[in-house]
Amino acid sequence: MSSSKDRYVVLGNPIAHSKSPFLHTHFAQQTQQNLDYRPLLAPLDEFDTTVNGFIAQGGKGANVTLPFKLQAFALCTELTPRAKAAGAVNTLLFKTGHIIGDNTDGCGLVNDIVHNAGVNLTGQRILLLGAGGAARGALLPLLECQPAQIVIANRTVARAEELATQFQPFGNVLASSFEAVNGAFDLIINATSASINAEVPPVPASVFSPNCFAYDMMYGNQPTVFMQHAAAQGATTRDGWGMLVEQAAEAFYLWRGVKPATDALLKQHP
């Protein structure tokens, strides 16, 4: 039997900063899976060529990060229901003649909130800040937890309305501008990229109830400005490191049929 390792990559541009090789190498060692996982820089105008070249070399699967999640979606011959709902793909599985696309981001988010942070989402009022790809990927997994309501707030209300309409068949979803959001929420998720620029979406301070849980999909070695703002209003906060770890564990399970434990990596927050 050949001892050569099954090959996986993470595709992006830029890609050197990616934590995925660290996460998946850890999972492989923990579960004794014989695989090799590396970053692969895809030229901006050659994503499809890069993927097909990797498949031709015997590649088994790939993670996809910015800016290629929509191109990955378009390249797939088969999509999971959650990838279809998200309209974007972050995990590829290659089978003879087929490229299967999945989206593990929303599932990773929910696993981190529910299992790792111990926050119950059933019957809760949720505020989702942003209406881009990150928000879209989160909606179906969040709605499957049967919250009472999800309000999508966005700078451009039309984009929030478009998402709300798409996901209304799965639950109670409303749209709003940032400024017009009213009432207190049990869970507030920042799915905007505002934290990169040290900004906070301009929602009223009253949205943070005393028992509110505020989650930023971004992470860093310091609490984000959104987390600092939420904490100042009395909210409990958490950043997106656990989401990153959990989405990776879900992708690993899709590829290998083995669900790795995430506890050790959760503690290795940058």
For the chain, give every domain's residue range: 6-102+243-267, 106-238
pLDDT at 3: 57
**How many C-alpha atoms does 251 have within 13 Å on its Cβ side?**
37
Do 189 and 127 meet the contact criterion of CB atoms below 8 Å apart?
Answer: yes
One of 3.40.50.300, 3.40.50.150, 3.40.50.720, 3.30.1510.10 is the CATH number of 106-238, namely 3.40.50.720
pLDDT at residue 192 is higher than 90: yes
In this prediction, residues 194-217 reach a mean pLDDT of: 93
Place of tokens 């696309």: 101
Choose among 252, 218, 211: nearest CA to 233: 211
Clarify whether 69 is annotated catalytic: yes
135 contacts: CB under 8 Å, gap ≥ 6: 128, 129, 152, 154, 163, 191
User: Between 210 and 27, whose confidence is greater?
Assistant: 27
Binding region for NADP(+) = 130-134, 154-159, 217, 240
The residues, any chain, with a CB within 8 Å of residue 57's CB and separated by 6 or more, are 7
Query: Could you say which of 69, 95, 259, 267 is catalytic?
Result: 69
Q: Which residues contact 231 (CB under 8 A, 6 or more apart)?
A: 214, 223, 237
On the 0-12 / 13-18 / 19+ scale of CB atoms within 10 A, 132 is middle
Q: What is the CATH number of domain 6-102+243-267?
A: 3.40.50.10860
Mean pLDDT for 98-109 is 97
Q: CA-to-CA distance for 27 and 69, rounded, in angstroms?
A: 23
Identify the pLDDT of residue 1.
37
Which residues define the annotated binding site for shikimate? 18-20, 65, 90, 105, 219, 247
Measured CA to CA, the distance from residue 80 to residue 137 in angstroms comes to: 12
Report pLDDT for 2: 45
Is residue 143 within 8 Å of 170, Cβ to Cβ?
yes
pTM of this prediction? 0.95
Mean pLDDT of all residues in the chain?
96
155 pLDDT exceeds 60? yes
Known binding positions: 18-20, 65, 90, 105, 130-134, 154-159, 217, 219, 240, 247
Same CATH fold assignment for domains 6-102+243-267 and 106-238: yes
In the chain, the percentage of residues whose pLDDT exceeds 90 is 93
- pLDDT value of position 264: 96
Instruction: Decide which of 64 and 195 is more confident.
Output: 64
Q: What is the pLDDT of residues 8-47, one digit of tens each?
A: 999 999 999 999 999 999 999 999 999 999 999 999 999 9
